[in-house]
Amino acid sequence: MTSQSYTVSGMTCQHCVNAVTEEVEAIDGVTDVRVDLDSGGLTVTSTGPLPDGVVAAAVDEAGYALAG
């Protein structure tokens, strides 16, 4: 298992958290997604390393962006 951490910008409510979680969970190989609304933290656990672009695209699809 591999765990990667990111920061998502623009989330303001639980709906935001749900949207990001749903999109990231749809990535092949993802086994767990944790989103912290207060910090914007996103932790993705997967069966192997994920290209950052794949996670960024999923977050973008939810209507948000990775910070940094």
Cβ burial, residue 62 (10 Å; 0-12/13-18/19+): buried
For position 29, what pLDDT does the model report? 97
Q: How far apart are CA 37 and CA 35, in angstroms?
A: 6
- Listed as ranges, residues in the chain with pLDDT below 50 are none
Q: How far apart are CA 31 and CA 21, in angstroms?
A: 11
Number of domains making up the chain: 1
Question: What's the chain's average pLDDT?
Answer: 96
Domain that holds residue 35: 2-66
Q: Cα 48 to chain center, whole Å?
A: 15
For position 52, what pLDDT does the model report? 77
Can you give the CATH number for the domain in which 7 is found? 3.30.70.100
Q: What is the pTM of this model?
A: 0.94
For position 68, what pLDDT does the model report? 73
